[in-house]
Chains A and B, each alone.
Chain A
Amino acid sequence: MTVESTAARSSTRRSGTAEADTSATGKPRKTAAKAPAKSAAKAPAKSEGAVKSPSSGSRAKSAAKGSDKAAPKSTARSTAKSAPKSTAGRSAKSRAKSTAASGAGRKAGSSRATRPARSGAASAAGGAANGVVGAEPELIQLLTPEGERVTHPEYDVELSAEELQGLYRDMVLTRRFDAEATSLQRQGELGLWASLLGQEAAQIGSGRALRPDDYVFPTYREHGVAWCRDVDPTMLLGMFRGVNNGGWDPNSNNFHLYTIVIGSQTLHAAGYAMGLAKDGADSAVIAYFGDGASSQGDVAEAFTFSAVYNAPIVFFCQNNQWAISEPTERQSRVPIYQRAQGYGFPGVRVDGNDVLACLAVTKAAVERARTGEGPMLIEAFTYRMGAHTTSDDPTRYRSDEERAEWEAKDPIKRLKAYLENEKLADADFFARIEEESEAMGRHVRDAIRTMPDPDSMAIFENVYADGHALVDEERAQFAEYQASFATESESGSAAVEGK
């Protein structure tokens, strides 16, 4: 009782501070640091923990860490074991209404049942998400980090040995391409590179769930999805080398340009999906974004538009735990997938390092979209093993231990273990993939080193579709200016030759 009321009071004070701070500085981030200090001064020592946790997010952090640890071992196994039980326990109603959302409901219920005091305090503190702050969200998983195949009551996927090998190949080649690009940046061939290391399963699993007529709106890190869409990997390097700002035809592979400004593409995806619905097409749209983007207003608006127009769209959030240096707790006080509930469509959290689970869940979500059931949010719980980009230094904000924990959950290793243990692939197969990977590395290196710089007149190209008098004028002036140099140097060299 004491805990609950203290939490409620402190939360009031916190939100008051937050408002004042926002209006004064426009930087609500500051409040997190200020709030606990202020309230701790006034609140009795006993309640400090309760005050601090919801406002600073430290409890959420520890919960998230806990779930990291627990996910592979306890969550996955218990899911597999308790599958029949929980299936039986779920009401027919919830399944009929929305299969995916039921996960959230059940979890909220179980967290209340097992930890009444904590969840009570949490809901009093923030009124957040049915008291699930601090609870460990369930992770949909079909392949454990050890490579053990487990089942899930709602999501499954039947794959032949060949298809499984295909997923393995996709992930290995994507990782190789990514590593090659990182090296090329280090060698000065690229200005920047945003590595997808660690997120291969999330991208290949979701990417392989799509049909060619579906449309993808990526961020700037979806190299694995691009691979699934048959976009030439070397095309992705153009913008990072600085020869263009995009460069491929989005319509030739139904893969939109990379979008750098965080979250903006989710609205384009929502609009495209609205268009699909108007056309009566049975294709779907998938919008990729990250945990950081989940804070953007555009993502919230994309959720709203997609929901109210029942657009055929899948929101695929790769929660890789870090938005440059900011942990996910700085973006949300509830697990990201639970936000969907507030918009009226289902959300699920999937093991983002499990390619089978990502494939199964995305297939189900895309199928929902095709059949007119509207949007769905998938939170792929994964980890950015590398830096945000080659300009980033993650040692300044996260620990080696954390990285090591995730290293153990590597998406490729676990599929390899599964393929080997179940004798679904032999040594020859792995050797072939290794060779292919080497060949791809060579191809990428050659392609980047021979990639021509654009002509300077490209500055003026495609600024407008129908032309623009000012662009024409400036193009002509600049050409004339450049030609004046050419004339000088020509006459200069002619003079030299004359001697």
Chain B
Amino acid sequence: MAVQKLPLAKAINASLRTAMENDSKVLIMGEDVGKLGGVFRVTDGLQKDFGEERVIDTPLAESGIVGTAIGLALRGYRPVVEIQFDGFVFPAYDQIVTQLAKMHARALGKVKLPVVIRIPYGGGIGAVEHHSESPEALFAHVAGLKCVSPSNASDAYWMMQQAIESDDPVIFFEPKRRYWDKGEVDPSAIPAPLHSAKIARQGTAATLAAYGPMVKVCLEAAAAAEEEGNSLEVVDLRSMSPIDFDTLQRSVEKTGRLVVVHEAPVFLGSGAEIAARITERCFYHLEAPVLRVGGFHAPYPPARLEDEYLPNLDRVLDAVDRALAY
């Protein structure tokens, strides 16, 4: 595959294809992932090329999907499981938290659970309820799981293969509103480590930290701020468990200010942990308290209110203004 400009969804598709070509133990499982290619077409064409034994349309039972994926992993397979939408993962939550996350430790390391759980997550596509949620903190909180979320096509391509190669269970949060955003994918590039953060934009006055769908919002906010004369740095965290605090710390030590942005509710969200840790690590560098921008402590609203609910350029810059005012 040469260098290509691909939408994020197609980059994941290309990545899955490569992983399946490289390792015959890689399986794809989920609802409608086969003939239909998934409701977002992320697995489009894979069943046609790899067959029904490797791209498996499953019964509509999320606990069953994850539970049988655990069994397949115990047998030596590397299942990549699709949960159709964020809000549908909870029937599988028990299997993920109670079984998948703990089994390696319970077996004193004698079994490995290389299961990837793909979850299209987040809002912004005008969907009905249970189709726009951001449950990443509920998984990042659980020892034994790793959680990542790419923000662009290139990262999506590489991070998916890295997640599949990982011997640990990885919850792979796909920013569904970015599925159609195009980006350059260079299959000959050397990817950064899966759990490393990236500086998406250099700046000096304050740091914006985000992952997944909110990176784009932060980059737009930084561009707007520059016109107002404020230089903002944007850190794309990419991984919510573990979090690359070293990269973030270096940025905050430089800028002295941090605003964390995510779609998930602010209360006990990733931003809370980041704020606490960065405050510990950078106490004498901080010019302002770490501020958070995110969802409210309310159910995800009906689609016609989601533009108000979701952090956007104005809400991010409002927080930046407050941070700069200290």
Contact = CB atoms under 8 A, between A and B. Distances in A.
B103 A271 contact: no
B37 interface: no
A267 B63 contact: yes
Given A271-B70, A305-B58, A245 B106 contact: yes
A462 B94 contact: no
A304 B61 contact: yes
Contact of A271 (B53, B68, B242): B68
Given A249-B107, A468-B146, A270 B167 contact: no
A127 interface: no
B104 A465 contact: yes
B191 interface: no
Nearest to A278: B53
B260 to A, nearest CB: 17
Interface residues of B, number: 47
B74 A470 contact: no
Interface string B44-82: 000000000100001101011011111111111100000
Interface in A464-479: 464-466, 468-471
A111 B43 CA distance: 51
Interface in A245-278: 245-252, 256-257, 259, 261, 264, 266-276, 278
Contact of B71 (A246, A267, A466): A267
B64 A302 contact: yes
Contacts of A298: 63-64, 67, 94-95
Interface stretch (B109-117, B175-183, B288-296, B315-323): B109-117
Q: Which of B91, B102, B106, B245 has the most CB of A within 10 A?
A: B106
B220 interface: no
Contacts of B112: 465
B242 A264 contact: no
Contact of A261 (B71, B98, B143): B98
B184 interface: no
Nearest to A260: B98
A461 B94 contact: no
B63 to A, nearest CB: 6
B71 A244 contact: no
B126 to A, nearest CB: 29
A422 to B, nearest CB: 42
A275 B112 CA distance: 15
Nearest to A273: B71
A407 interface: no
A247 B167 contact: no
A264 B94 contact: yes
A198 to B, nearest CB: 28
B144 A264 contact: no
A471 B72 contact: no
Contact of A250 (B76, B110, B243): B110
Interface string A233-250: 000000000001111111
B64 A257 contact: no
B144 A271 contact: no
B166 interface: yes
Given A304-B61, A463-B143, A465-B109, A470 B241 contact: yes
Contacts of B71: 267-275
Contacts of B61: 301, 304-305
B77 A264 contact: no
B166 A466 contact: yes
B268 interface: no
A301 B245 CA distance: 40
A455 interface: no
Nearest to B98: A261
B41 to A, nearest CB: 24
A279 interface: yes
Contact of B242 (A245, A275, A468): A468
A245 B103 CA distance: 9
A463 B244 CA distance: 18
Given A275-B75, A463-B144, A301 B63 contact: yes
Contact of B69 (A259, A271, A466): A271
B30 to A, nearest CB: 13
B168 interface: yes
A261 B99 CA distance: 9
B105 A462 contact: yes
B110 A274 contact: no
Interface string A433-467: 00000000000000000000000000001111110
Nearest to B246: A469
B305 interface: no
Contacts of A463: 104-105, 143-144
B64 A305 contact: yes
B195 interface: yes
Contacts of A267: 63-64, 66-68, 70-71, 95
A297 interface: yes
B178 to A, nearest CB: 26
A268 B79 CA distance: 13
A308 interface: yes
Contacts of B64: 267, 270, 298, 301-302, 304-305
B166 A247 contact: no
B143 A279 contact: no
Contacts of A305: 58-59, 61, 64, 68
Q: Which of B53, B75, B98 has the most CB of A within 10 A?
A: B75
A469 B244 contact: yes
A318 to B, nearest CB: 21
Nearest to B76: A275
Nearest to A287: B71
19 contacts: A244-B108, A261-B94, A261-B99, A267-B66, A268-B74, A270-B64, A270-B67, A271-B75, A272-B72, A297-B91, A298-B94, A301-B61, A461-B105, A462-B104, A464-B168, A465-B168, A468-B242, A469-B242, A469-B245
Interface of B: 53, 58-59, 61, 63-64, 66-77, 91, 94-95, 98-99, 102-113, 143-144, 146, 166-168, 195, 241-245
Given A252-B110, A462-B105, A471-B143, 15 more contacts: A250-B74, A267-B68, A267-B70, A268-B68, A268-B71, A270-B67, A270-B71, A271-B69, A272-B75, A275-B74, A279-B75, A301-B61, A304-B64, A465-B166, A468-B241
